[in-house]
Structure 1
Amino acid sequence: MPAPRPEGDHHALAAHEVVLLLGTDVEHGLTEADAADRLRRFGPNLLPRATQGGVFRRLLRQFHNPLIYVLIGAGVVTLLLAEYVDSAVIFGVVVVNAVVGFLQESRAEAALDALRAMVRTEARLVRGGRQRRVPSTEVVPGDLVLVEAGEKVPADLRLVHAAELRADESALTGESLPVRKDELVVPAETPVADRRNLLYSGTLLTGGSAAGVVVATGAETELGRIHRLVGGARVLDTPLTVQLARFSRLLTVAILVLAAVTFGIGLLRGQDAGQTFTAAVALAVGAIPEGLPAAVTITLAIGVSRMARRRAVVRRLPAVETLGSTTVICTDKTGTLTENQMTVQLLWTPQGRYEVTGAGYTPTGEIRDADGGPAPTGVGALRWSLLAGVACNDARLDEQDGRWAVLGDPTEGAMLVVGAKVGLSRHRVAEELPRLAAVPFTSERQYMATLHDRREDGRVVLVKGAVERVVEWSAAALREDGSTGPLDVEAVLAAAHELAADGLRVLATAMRPVGPADGLVEEELPGRLVFTGLHAMLDPPRAAAAAAVRSCQRAGVAVKMITGDHRATATAIAGRLGLLRDAPGPGDVLTGTDLATLPAAELPAAVRQASVFARVSPEQKLRLVEALQAAGQVVAMTGDGVNDAPALRQANIGVAMGRSGTEVAKEAADIVLTDDDFATIESAVEEGRGVFANLTKFITWTLPTNAAEGMVILVAIVLGTVLPILPSQILWINMTTAVALGLTLAFEPKEPGIMDRPPRDPKQPLLTAALVVRVLLVSALLVVGAWGLFEWELNAGSELAQARTAAVNLFVVVMAGYLFSCRSLTRSPWRLGLFSNRWLIVGVLAQALAQLALTYLPVLNDLFRTAPISGTTWLRIFGIAALVSVVVALDKRLGWFGRRLG
């Protein structure tokens, strides 16, 4: 047997050619021997498993950080110098950070496992002329597979026979409606979504039955192709991780250079090499913000908790901040912007147009006339149109756990729902008009007809179907009072055209009274039907989606719809949501065909202009995301289907739907929405901006301490004097203040107007020039204050340990005062309310108790070489701290030393 032909050929061949090509039999299938041989040749019907890093490799990755390298080096050096307390604290910091990172690492390859799970089903096939069931993993090319409604397709099949077959391919192609399938040949260039003679692995059949020959298994299926796209998509670093890495490298180089300069100056001054080296190590340890990795993790974790309360579950911690940095949201239509539930929006009869309220499959709402009053649903054309929609219907509407669902065709489900809104439930109509016979819908017929018993009134035929067919076969129209009159064909077709132009799917209904003994004869229907009305339906936008889109646009975040649906439907929904102008211009809406023919050089500009992309393939979704990223955009991609998985993984932030989303989409994403609502994305963007703001506040707060500690030691080396602060005391300051003081900024509420700002430029550094000036100002004040106090205490007769204790406490008190200033980088802290962040008050009190213990507890005096100080010394400490706070407040307001931040 030859190997299966390349993807894209089988749909363009006649069924008998495919059968011959694959060396099989359309009636008897393969023999067991052939099947076993092909299983050995082509392997099991599974997607390949990607190699994953082991646990040890994941753990090692946590140490891959320049700051961690410096900390490890400092720990080794202090250990060799017998500074055991310093060394233990340093290594403790390294281990804690590694453990936290290890526990938080996401399972990026789980998306591929979910894809494999999708094809692990049972298959019903014919081998050796006998039907049998086998695990789908044992299906091979050439197998003759039988499928019917409710079953999942085990492999890619070329249909050889189909009866009223409909397949839900939304997870694969994005098409919101079930696709009708048959065995007819289609052109070779037909896109995946329109290959009506192929069934794809992992999709679900919603109606009919079929037999098909397996043309692809495992990695060669359409699902396997997407699997390769997912595996090939790069998992990008988030803006936060990129900036933190850049910031860490710069800081590491600066610290090492400063430590080397310190050591060199000490040697040039003739100081003891060992003591000078210890001082250089102390400078390096002091300048490293040991609490930064933990602060980042905890701040992001708090953001995760806040997002969870707003129905967004975060799978990867950096994703919290990334969403706040987003400049473009590429959103799926079906299920995200819309309800993913077909809903009848309008009813039209020869007497008028009626609006239907309510959305989705929940049967609550009403039908209103043009004046907003209740429509006449009890008599005439409107009632019979509703009866036809309910009775001439094979779908079922069920309630499970408080949620309504349709079993069957969504369009038929929508007609059931609108009938139920006025009391015409399926059960009631079945009692009122028992069905006696039916003619099922086919693509050739373009209609469905049913015969019903009206008891003493004889029988009636009800019809629903394509507008053109029903109007062609109608000889009259039903009036509001139940009588018949002439049919205005032009008016009906004009109304249908107008509704279709708005992106609505339109079906027509009709009836025909017959005698009590008459049957349902198709040949008697043409020219004898009585037209009753039109049902116009749409998968409606979610209630909060339009407002959420406006909020994102106001925040400077562009929203682009990417969908597998048709152009007209996508355009109609986009117009309702405010994504398009009233009169879309050229280039505002692009289709997959447009993208395929677009030169690569023109793609960036076209993607930037367009707001709607319709009928696109998974590869094109991926290409769109890559084009936006190449233009410097931070892209958030939403989706729920298998076809969305590659783009979800490639995007800077992937957002999957928790309710309707496939497991593939969820595992490929960074964030999962538990309510599938676009409005939740807008809420998550707001939370993400708040998280980044709090991280910036923490860095702005912690860096002056580290810089000042390093400068204090550098000054001591230059002056040739003793160290005002010891390495163990520096570690005490860094670790206790980071936990008790700095981390309280993670709980800081979002500042007002955070969604009225434009997105942060991804290329903008963590610290702007104005913030660097602020950090340098506070550092300089700390250095001057600490040295001044240290010398004052020595000159006043204090012991060296007491003078050092005073300097340590000055650092902590100044940082506590500066903490209140950092609650807002632009506003006065008093405008925010003193108790709006209660954790900050708790942290300051906890730090105060820790300082008192460091100063007065003998065990800590011995461990950290501190000593009790007098009340007069405390007064000097608070006086200097107050002066620093005043200078910082005035600079914030007047911008003395640099540009104002506001």
Structure 2
Amino acid sequence: MKDDQGKAQIYAQKDLTELFQELASSPTGLTAQVAADRLQKNGLNTIQKIKRQPEWQNFLKNFISLMACLLWVSGLIAIFSGTTELGIAIWCVNVINGLFSYYQQHAAQKATDSMLKMLPNYTQVIRDGKQQQIDASQIVVGDVFLLSAGDSIPADARLLETNSLQIDESALTGESVPATKDAVYQGSDSDQLSVNNLVYAGTSAVNGSAKAIVFATGMQTEFGKIAQLTHQQKKTISPLQLELNRLTKQLSIIALSIGAAFFVASIFFVHYPPAQAFIFALGMIVAFIPEGLLPTVTLSLAQGVRRMAQKHALVKELNSIETLGEATVICSDKTGTLTQNQMTINHLWTPEHDYQLTGEGYEVNGQIMLDQQSADLTDPDLQQMLKIMALDNDAKLQTSFDQQGQTLGTPTERALLIAALKSKLNLQQLAEKLPKLQTFPFDSIRKRMSTVHQLGSQWQLVLVKGALSETLPLCSQIQLNGQVKSLTTELRQQILAANAQYAAQGLRSLCLAYKKISSSQQQLDLTEAESNLIFVGLAVMMDPPRPEVYQAVQKCHQAKIKIIMVTGDSPLTAKAVAVKIGITGPNPRVVTGEQLEKMSATQLKEVLKGDVIFARVAPEHKYRIVSSLQQCGHVVASTGDGVNDAPALKKADIGVAMGKLGTDVAKDAADMILTDDNFASIVAAIEEGRAVYSNIQKFLLYILNSNVPEAFPSALFLFSGGLIPLPLTVMQILTVDLGTDMLPALGLGAERAEPDVMQKPPRSRQSHLLKKSLIWRAFGWYGLLASLISTFAYFYTNYVSGWPNKALAANGSVYLEATTMTLAAIVFCQIAAVLNCRTENMSVFKIGLFSNHQIWIGIIFEILLLNILIYLPFLQGIFNTTAIGLKEWLFLVAIPIPIFLLEELRKLINRHWQRT
């Protein structure tokens, strides 16, 4: 890229005659024919999107994940074991889940594509010697185009003519202050982007006008080069998918181990023939495979995506929302992400007063809110400052300011104009009273702008605003309380001290000055206008933080999530904003891009451990920071809106782009887009992501605990040598897994985040879904209770029928009733289990017993399904069930109550231990 930068520098320094020869063009532009030929040869002026997989591959991958493959095999096993209907049912679950996953991702991608708008639509060019409007995609090298305030720049170009041109280059550089541009080359730093007579695609003109000639289009622009760097970065597999793959392997080992144990036991204890033992073992393997895992994960992610869409966050990949829940670090841009990307006047300072304006958000999306402010409008010094701010200004009102209006101009001039309007200054009357005669535009050398106005018949009024370092030396007098006095050394020191104090807070000061001269000379030259000035005061401004960002940052700290500001803005401003909104402590380390380049990998990793801010960084710097954090074991979320952010967005575990101010390249590279550009939405996404992971664990707990009472009756049968008839058939086991358990389990996937989810640190990468505490609760607590209760139901039914005085029935009506009661008892134990699984330690009553309607719909469904299996004659034969009476139903209905209350007691004891 350095070679390309050198080429651009050559274009910047060339004589115009040579430039036109080099680009085979002229001051009157290209002919239509030449432009058409070049378009045919070089292609459209567009930025290529990241190449996506073919749609059929996106569709197919939803059916070939490790868990999906396990379900395909499970269905095949079920068919070979003689339960064809259940095998087909398992396959149907897999197909439905795959279709649902594809639909969710396809819908998210369509919503994203509708947001992406590539480059400006139209540009004014000169072709065949005439000005004409063309689609920006038709621009070619050598085209001469025109710019005015508000226009987007369609390609990289060399300026030919300028008039007070200022360019917002924040999309490329991250710098919030517009760059002043001029057609005359004035040299530059080593950075190509600092060249004063070059403009770049993806930026926009905020003030003035210009004519320029194109030297790079499409992917050859700076915009395109960064996009290309983004395309080369491959996205890694998500942490959730890695964890699901690990879980699938673990559950497969468990299922195969249990199947092998039951195969051996059925041969040695029951003396089954190997073929019959194999079929029995296959049934147990299928029973221990969680067929509902994929639907639950997909539903949980999809519902999280929908909830995030309601909170203005568009998730492009389902897994992304869970990944954000694991984030340990957020690398955040400043301009437009943490701040509002609009300058605001918050102090008007004179040696006598420091007026702090109220209502930092008095301009919202360009709408001027004319509320009152806390300044003394009778102060003559303040009146003079407001007059300079309003008249020495190129910003324009687009509509009447009687109620509301919109401004057009540079952020600085818009801020000055709006502050003047807040004081109820009548701009129209003031302009009529003091008509403008001359303008000396702002330039980067003088760092000042001056205007000359007619003051009565005998006087002219010169108004000046500019950088204090360049303007104060031109002042020989000062206005104090309306009186003009000599500007003493002591007063100069007071002014400089005030400026230094504001600078330490990251605020930017503009010096306001004026003078009156005789109107005998009609035209003033620049030197005469900007000399012997009268200092009035300082207009102090900054790009204010978003109001909601303070609480969002606080929540991140509570959740043990580190925020690192990575910005192209100045170190002083970056530090002030970071400290103000609480990202860092009062004394963070500020590392510039230049310092970062000199750091070794080890030094950078050491710096990242503490409070640190990165300022004046280039695209490759942000990419390196994200990479280093990942090497340290962090899960990194990277936010951004500019082209310069795109490589880091793609490299990060989850990239978060801004939907309103974000560039197309950033949106294309990101995993999630904030449609309201609200940093607080990231915190909401983290909460949703943590809820998704928690819900998957709740689902696992729920389905694993049912495996224990399903396996326990078979163990009794095997280890009794067949003396205890099989209390639960394979068909009944699969009925629980694929029938009664399915909807309540899906209801757990819809559970909202627990209230304390953001009070915990991010989960460790060493912490897995199937952890020891979960296994203990599933097998040693919930599973054990359910096993004891269901086994009791089996033996009690036989006891009522005469056992132990007569042998346990191996067939007949008593056996059917006993197995039916065993099945029904497990189902009612699962009703209590699904309610208990809703929280880890918090009381279910605190989140609301009936707050999750989907779980209760699932409970109603499983009771209805159980009744259908028990009372429909043609299903009784398939599932080995029979009708039961009222006494049995009273026993069943009573089962969930003690289980639920026992679990509430356990959670209460746990909470007490945690507090002590």
Same fold (TM over 0.5): yes
Q: Would you say the 8 A contact 2:49–2:668 is kept in 1?
A: no
Gapped runs of 5+ residues in structure 1? 369-373
Residues in 2 aligned to 1:845 and 1:294: alpha-carbon distance in whole angstroms: 20
Instruction: After TM superposition, list the pairs within 5 Å mapping 1:498-517 onto structure 2.
Output: 498-515=501-518
Match of 2:733 in 1: 730
Match of 2:277 in 1: 276
Instruction: After TM superposition, list the pairs within 5 Å mapping 1:838-877 onto structure 2.
Output: 839-874=854-889, 877=892
CA shift, 1:836, in A, is 4.7
Query: Which of 495, 500, 509 matches 2:498?
Result: 495
Match of 2:576 in 1: 572
SS of 2:580's partner is helix
SS of 1:450's partner is strand
> Which amino acid is 1:19 matched to?
L
Residues in 1 aligned to 2:114 and 2:771: alpha-carbon distance in whole angstroms: 43
CA shift, 1:414, in A, is 0.4
Gapped runs of 5+ residues in structure 2? 802-808
SS of 2:336's partner is helix
Match of 2:288 in 1: 287
Residues in 2 aligned to 1:876 and 1:133: alpha-carbon distance in whole angstroms: 82
Choose 715-724 or 441-450, whichever is displaced more.
715-724
Choose 551-560 or 6-15, whichever is displaced more.
6-15
Residues in 2 aligned to 1:812 and 1:418: alpha-carbon distance in whole angstroms: 69
SS of 1:334's partner is coil
> Which amino acid is 1:9 matched to?
K
CA shift, 1:265, in A, is 4.4
Residues in 2 aligned to 1:660 and 1:779: alpha-carbon distance in whole angstroms: 53
Distance 1:691 1:429, change over 3 A: farther
Distance 1:665 1:751, change over 3 A: same
SS of 2:91's partner is helix
> Which amino acid is 1:870 matched to?
G
Q: Would you say the 8 A contact 2:157–2:212 is kept in 1?
A: yes
CA shift, 1:459, in A, is 4.2
Instruction: After TM superposition, list the pairs within 5 Å mapping 1:266-345 onto structure 2.
Output: 266-267=266-267, 270-345=271-346
> Which amino acid is 1:11 matched to?
Q
Render the CA deviation track for 1:540-573: whole Å, top value 9, x for unaligned.
1122322322221122111111112111211111
Residues in 2 aligned to 1:287 and 1:105: alpha-carbon distance in whole angstroms: 29
CA shift, 1:326, in A, is 1.7
Residues in 2 aligned to 1:152 and 1:829: alpha-carbon distance in whole angstroms: 55
Query: Which of 4, 8, 11 matches 1:10?
Result: 8
CA shift, 1:72, in A, is 1.6
Choose 259-268 or 374-383, whichever is displaced more.
259-268
Instruction: After TM superposition, list the pairs within 5 Å mapping 1:404-443 onto structure 2.
Output: 405-443=406-444
CA shift, 1:799, in A, is 3.5
Q: Would you say the 8 A contact 1:283–1:709 is kept in 2?
A: no
Q: Would you say the 8 A contact 1:170–1:176 is kept in 2?
A: yes
Q: Would you say the 8 A contact 2:108–2:317 is kept in 1?
A: no
Choose 544-553 or 717-726, whichever is displaced more.
717-726
Instruction: After TM superposition, list the pairs within 5 Å mapping 1:420-569 onto structure 2.
Output: 420-455=421-456, 458-481=459-482, 483-484=484-485, 486=487, 488-515=491-518, 519-522=522-525, 523-569=527-573
Choose 299-308 or 195-204, whichever is displaced more.
299-308
Q: Would you say the 8 A contact 2:626–2:652 is kept in 1?
A: yes
Render the CA deviation track for 1:504-562: whole Å, top value 9, x for unaligned.
22211222234466535134324332222111110011223223222211221111111
2:837 counterpart of 1:822? yes
Distance 1:656 1:426, change over 3 A: farther
CA shift, 1:259, in A, is 2.5
Distance 1:56 1:723, change over 3 A: farther
Q: Would you say the 8 A contact 2:828–2:895 is kept in 1?
A: no
Render the CA deviation track for 1:789-812: whole Å, top value 9, x for unaligned.
435545636443322221211111
Match of 1:772 in 2: 775
Instruction: After TM superposition, list the pairs within 5 Å mapping 1:341-352 onto structure 2.
Output: 341-352=342-353
2:85 counterpart of 1:97? no
Q: Would you say the 8 A contact 2:459–2:516 is kept in 1?
A: yes
Match of 1:790 in 2: 794
Distance 1:431 1:164, change over 3 A: closer
Residues in 2 aligned to 1:104 and 1:111: alpha-carbon distance in whole angstroms: 11
Distance 1:714 1:233, change over 3 A: farther
Residues in 1 aligned to 2:854 and 2:404: alpha-carbon distance in whole angstroms: 41
CA shift, 1:35, in A, is 5.3
> Which amino acid is 1:544 matched to?
E
Residues in 2 aligned to 1:591 and 1:453: alpha-carbon distance in whole angstroms: 47
Residues in 2 aligned to 1:410 and 1:824: alpha-carbon distance in whole angstroms: 50
2:812 counterpart of 1:803? no
Choose 854-863 or 697-706, whichever is displaced more.
854-863
TM-score, normalised relative to structure 2: 0.88
Residues in 2 aligned to 1:352 and 1:762: alpha-carbon distance in whole angstroms: 56
Choose 141-150 or 606-615, whichever is displaced more.
141-150
Match of 1:371 in 2: none
Q: Would you say the 8 A contact 1:149–1:208 is kept in 2?
A: yes
SS of 1:201's partner is coil
Residues in 2 aligned to 1:598 and 1:145: alpha-carbon distance in whole angstroms: 43
TM-score, normalised relative to structure 1: 0.89
Residues in 1 aligned to 2:407 and 2:785: alpha-carbon distance in whole angstroms: 70
Distance 1:826 1:135, change over 3 A: closer
CA shift, 1:167, in A, is 1.4
CA shift, 1:453, in A, is 3.7
> Which amino acid is 2:626 matched to?
V
CA shift, 1:885, in A, is 5.6
Q: Percent identity?
A: 35
> Which amino acid is 1:254 matched to?
I
Let me know the Cα RMSD of the aligned residues. Answer: 3.6
SS of 1:214's partner is strand
Residues in 2 aligned to 1:750 and 1:40: alpha-carbon distance in whole angstroms: 55
Choose 93-102 or 732-741, whichever is displaced more.
732-741
SS of 2:4's partner is coil
> Which amino acid is 1:427 matched to?
Q
Distance 1:139 1:660, change over 3 A: closer
> Which amino acid is 2:9 matched to?
H
CA shift, 1:62, in A, is 0.9
> Which amino acid is 2:833 matched to?
Y
2:379 counterpart of 1:375? no
Match of 1:70 in 2: 70
SS of 1:638's partner is strand
Render the CA deviation track for 1:33-73: whole Å, top value 9, x for unaligned.
76566555544433345543333222211122333223222
Distance 1:92 1:109, change over 3 A: closer
Match of 2:55 in 1: 55
Choose 150-159 or 809-818, whichever is displaced more.
150-159
> Which amino acid is 2:475 matched to?
S
SS of 2:464's partner is strand
Match of 1:636 in 2: 637
How many residues in Structure 1 have an aligned counterpart in Structure 2? 889
Q: Would you say the 8 A contact 1:285–1:730 is kept in 2?
A: no
Residues in 2 aligned to 1:361 and 1:140: alpha-carbon distance in whole angstroms: 42
Residues in 2 aligned to 1:689 and 1:447: alpha-carbon distance in whole angstroms: 52
Q: Would you say the 8 A contact 1:770–1:901 is kept in 2?
A: no
CA shift, 1:423, in A, is 0.4
Choose 855-864 or 378-387, whichever is displaced more.
855-864
CA shift, 1:335, in A, is 1.9
Residues in 2 aligned to 1:358 and 1:8: alpha-carbon distance in whole angstroms: 46
2:670 counterpart of 1:655? no
Distance 1:807 1:320, change over 3 A: same
Choose 190-199 or 278-287, whichever is displaced more.
190-199
Render the CA deviation track for 1:433-489: whole Å, top value 9, x for unaligned.
333332222234432222334447854222222223432332322222355554533
Instruction: After TM superposition, list the pairs within 5 Å mapping 1:657-676 onto structure 2.
Output: 657-676=658-677
Match of 1:700 in 2: 701
Match of 1:758 in 2: 761
Match of 1:595 in 2: 596
CA shift, 1:759, in A, is 1.9
